[in-house]
Amino acid sequence: MTAMLETRALTVRYGRHTAITGVDLAVVNGERLALLGHNGAGKSTLFKAVLGFITPASGTISIAGHAPGDRGARCAVSYLPENVAFHGALTGREILRHFARLRGERATVADPLLEKVGLAHAAERAVGTWSKGMRQRLGLAQALIGAPQLLLLDEPTSGLDPVSRRDFYALVDEVAARGAAVVLSSHGLEEVQNRTDRVAILSNGRLVADGALAALAAEAALQAQIRVTARQGEADALQGRIGGRRCNGIAVEVSCPVPDKFELVRRLASDEAVRDIDVRLPTLDDVYRHFSERGRTEE
């Protein structure tokens, strides 16, 4: 499948400082990629290079087969920054109609988009009276103008309440379902864990991990954590049989490779001393911590 976004050996420098080094990354149609990294890792720099705001020192970028800044690339890509800024004296409808015309779309697309992001009720109010979360949703509506093929989202849920975050990710799913590629930069690891298809992790400007969560967890050899709660008076004997460590008076924690968890749980379930079993699989936070720390060590 042809990549909607592809970078090859991408390197970006600001004077003597190298912000991105040799990044190879591809995102295909319909894919939701979580772009993760510490502050200063190079996420925003990568977005700026894709948008054509900065010129790479070396390497290439392709957006739908076009170079950044070309007309074809500008038509294909849309961007939502972390902190949106709109003229406070204009209404939501006026702002969206303005950006629709800039995008070459009819002004009439504004109202359906305002409805989609839950702002139809405030369409005639000056944006200066809106909350931060409302302005962020207006930014999302702006980013959706023209049905872009590539959507770049930089900390898009900043300022959104839990309900608005849920609605936002439903929109991301809808955009991906129609075939657009979505690249989402976020520090909210828990909220993106089950809402993206793939994870790419930057550390000090280098791509240190790229793949599905389960594959990265396996590559990192992260283990499943199993907490076994014993029946009254059985904790000592249980620990003697299964090992692990005591985490309180009645529970024992053991670790095992993820592929082995089923057999271990089956064995524990047949032990009469066991009252309950909880299984914790590696999370995105575990994966991120592992590869980020490895990236810093390799530097």
Task: State the pLDDT confidence band at 156, using cuts at 50, 70 and 90.
Answer: confident
User: Would 3-217 and 223-281 be classified into the same CATH topology?
Assistant: no
pLDDT in tens, 131-143: 888 898 899 999 9
Task: State the pLDDT confidence band at 1, using cuts at 50, 70 and 90.
Answer: low
pLDDT for the residue numbered 141? 93
Specify the DSSP class assigned to residue 91.
Answer: B
What's the CA gap between 100 and 143, in Å, rounded? 10
If one compares 293 and 175, the residue with the highest pLDDT of the two is 175
* 12: its two tokens: 């970006």
pLDDT in tens, 76-94: 999 998 888 899 999 999 9
In terms of Cα–Cα distance, which of 292, 260, 265 is closest to 277?
265
If one compares 292 and 1, the residue with the highest pLDDT of the two is 292
Kindly report the number of other CB atoms within 10 A of residue 175's CB atom. 23
In terms of Cα–Cα distance, which of 22, 24, 102, 13 is closest to 62?
24
In terms of Cα–Cα distance, which of 28, 21, 39, 38 is closest to 6?
28
pLDDT for the residue numbered 110? 95
Domain ranges of the chain: 3-217, 223-281
Kind of pairing between the strands at 245-246 and 3-14? unpaired
Task: State the pLDDT confidence band at 188, using cuts at 50, 70 and 90.
Answer: confident
For residues 14-35, give the mean pLDDT: 95
pLDDT in tens, 91-113: 999 999 999 999 999 999 999 99
Sign of the four-CA dihedral 19, 21, 27, 33: negative
**pTM attached to this predicted model:** 0.87
What's the CA gap between 248 and 166, in Å, rounded? 36
Task: State the pLDDT confidence band at 297, using cuts at 50, 70 and 90.
Answer: low
Q: What is the torsion angle, in degrees rounded to the nearest 10, for the CA atoms of residue 190, residue 193, residue 196 and residue 199?
A: 110
pLDDT for the residue numbered 47? 96
| 223-281 topology per CATH | Alpha-Beta Plaits (3.30.70)
* 141: its two tokens: 């509506």
Residue 221 CA from chain centroid, whole number: 22
pLDDT for the residue numbered 248? 81
What's the CA gap between 152 and 74, in Å, rounded? 12
Task: State the pLDDT confidence band at 227, using cuts at 50, 70 and 90.
Answer: very high
Task: State the pLDDT confidence band at 298, using cuts at 50, 70 and 90.
Answer: low
Position 40, amino acid: G
pLDDT at residue 296 tops 70: no
pLDDT at residue 228 tops 90: yes
pLDDT at residue 299 tops 70: no
- Average pLDDT value for the chain: 92
CATH architecture of 3-217: 3-Layer(aba) Sandwich (3.40)
